Amino acid sequence: DMLRGASPERDIHDHDDATHPRDVIFMFSGHGAQYAGMASGLYASYPVFTEWLDRSAEILSQRLGLDIRTAIADDETALRRMTVAQPALFALQYALARLWMSWGVTPTAMIGHSAGEYVAACLARTFTLENALLLIAERGRLMDEMPGGAMLAVALSEEVLDRRLADHGDDRPDMAVITSPTMCVISGAAGAVNQFR
């Protein structure tokens, strides 16, 4: 309401300090937050967003044998498969970044997690859009072919966690990530992760 001007009693401060420009960093997410209908308002309202999503969908349709726009619009089941979710998330985030850039918002830096790393790399011209889409589609396919597993955040140091993992013998999870001096993530077969927990 405040942005629409429907709450005039609230103080809104508008300040543009051109003498101290602010850095903009684009951050791109990974898999996990996707849902049917995501970005439908952007697609319907912003031609630049639509153009880039359509371009990505056309490139991906030959590789995937489906139209990611349909999955994004209303196919929750398809979006649970990495083969669809990874390229869909890439395409949406790429189109959104292109929209921001069309408005003159230029990132000083970019960072991403999982599929988001590929978006950042593509925007940084490490890959062409076509090559990045083909790579992320193949990544999703390979992920779908892997057996199921689990991950667990563990509030222990790397050294302590290594010793505890060693006590579990051959059927144990692996150290996946060391996120801080006192926080790590383990991964592996769901049974092994649950037993360790």
Percent of the chain having pLDDT more than 70? Answer: 91
> pLDDT tens-digit profile of 140-165?
999 999 888 899 999 999 999 999 99
Distance CA 90, CA 96 (A): 10
pTM of the model: 0.77
Kindly list the distances between the CA atom of residue 80 and the CA atoms of 36, 77, 140, 160, in Å, as whole numbers in the listed order: 10, 5, 11, 35
